[in-house]
Structures are given as structure tokens and as C-alpha cells.
Amino acid sequence: MTVQTHGAGGRTGIGMTSARTRERLVQRLRAQGIADPQVLDQIRNVPRHLFVDEALATRAYEDTALPIGYGQTISQPYVVARMTEALLEGTAPRKVLEIGTGCGYQTAVLSPLVKFLYTIERISPLLERARLRFKELRLRNVNLRHGDGFKGWVAHAPYDGILMAAAPLQIPQALFAQLGPGGRLIAPVGPEGRQHLVRITRRGDDFHTETLGLVSFVPLLKGIT
């Protein structure tokens, strides 16, 4: 069985989008501990091959990060699933801020699971490419901004959840301020080669931190380009 997926310059589903290939990825993630059925369904259904260069499309459903240009990567599916699951655990957030749109794959996985999704990307060509993908996939609850992730997006704060797709050495204070009561912030933190995925939950004026495991992300950089 092959799922025909049109778009991205006319790419259609041959091999790289087969239901069997996607199901193998889902089974692998389940074996690694991803249990939320909504998250697994999104990994199964979002056409990851549309978010990578055509030359890499046959590797789109491998559980690995892949280059997307400009020194950035599309995150490993396990990490996308783990971060999404950690964000949704407990009361599902209605309004979420994503720092680092990149190619838009994490955004596409998260979009149907929340009410409002705001996403910031500092590299303009990546943002515009993601915008086209979201239009193709008819993701209507995603709001995009070309901006500096260190500053967040004050206009729509507070957020029930903040998800960071690039690693700061420390969480920017601006993001703590934009996290609402009971809100959860999911982020890789630390220098390259020594990053930990953390979940920070706001309880009044206190912030409770849990460490979820080791990860490898590109660093969060200041400014826009």
C-alpha cells in the first residue's frame, strides 16, 4: 500500500511515503517509550519527506536528524515525539509558542494537537519555505514570525506551553516571563555535545525543572538573518 502525497514540487508517495515505512518508524518510537497515541498518529500522518530536500526524501522516515540548509537540521522523529509528548502530558495546552520553526516539521506535528500555535524563526528563507508547507498542508492555526527567539513573542503571551527547537546555554528570562501559570516549557539546554532536554513547569512564581534525557540540537542564536 502506498499513500499518495502530492505537493513540494509535485513529489508523490513512492516508497518514501509507503504506509509500511511510516509504520516501522512508529513501531520504533513506541519501542523507545513514546506512548501517547495522538503523538504517534501525528508521526505516522505528517509527510516528513515534504520537509527535507528531495535528495534526502528516501531517508525521511529514518529515525535520524537530517540537514535542511543554513546550518540547521530537521530533528530526529524520536526527539520530536518526545518533546511533543512532554508538552502535552497532563492538561493539553491551548496556546503554544515554538522557538525555532526550522523546516516546520515539529510545527506540523504539534499543530493539530493545540488550539493556537505561534512559531518564530530567525532565518528568513527557512521561515518562507515552512510557510509554503503549512499552506499545502492546510494548517490554519499556525502563526509565523521572523524574529529573535531569545525575545519570544510578547504580543500573544502568556502561553500554556513553550517548545524550543534550538539549544540555549540557559533559558532566556523573557521566556520564563511569557510562560503562563501551570505552563510547561520544553527545551534542550547546554553546550553542543552536553545538552539535556528539560521540562520546566510554572507553579506560581516558582519554576520546577525535570531532566528528560540527553539530546543534540543546534545552538539557539540571537538576532535575525
What's the alpha-carbon Rg for the chain, to the nearest Å? 17
Which residue out of 75, 111, 124, 216 is catalytically annotated?
A: 75
124 is a catalytic site residue: no
Q: Are 165 and 119 in contact (CB under 8 A)?
A: no
- List residues with catalytic annotation: 75
